[in-house]
Amino acid sequence: GVSPVSPIHVYTQREVYGTVGASVTLSCSFWSSEWISEDISITWHFQAEGSRDSISIFHYAQGQPYIDDVGSFKERMEWAGNPRRKDGSIVIHGLEPSDNGTFTCDVKNPP
């Protein structure tokens, strides 16, 4: 049989502005009609302005935040979310001009 699927609604700011050298919070809140499972996962991707490719920069799974070991964000990122409060936000410190681009928050709440 096929298990029913319920959507998760994810909300982010359309545009976020920051100052070079400062910190910025990338907000990601979500809503699900289902209870938040222990297996919830949150992934942040970054697509640099003018690039076709996006890279994974942050992952939350099994109750632990993981900063991906690639890209220029690995030393400058901080987990600010709380899945129990339906929050998957991150903070980026020491903003650089090359941080300009599109950030995407992806939330999965299995089953």
Q: Which residue has the tokens 């220029």?
A: 72
Average pLDDT, the chain: 91
Helix (H, G, I), strand (E, B) or coil at 6: coil
CATH for 9-106?
2.60.40.10
pLDDT (tens digit per residue) in 6-17: 788 999 999 999
pLDDT (tens digit per residue) in 17-63: 999 999 999 999 999 888 888 899 999 999 999 999 999 999 999 99
CA distance 95 to 17: 10
DSSP element (H, E) containing 29: strand 28-32
Residue 60 half-sphere exposure, CB side, CA atoms within 13 Å?
27
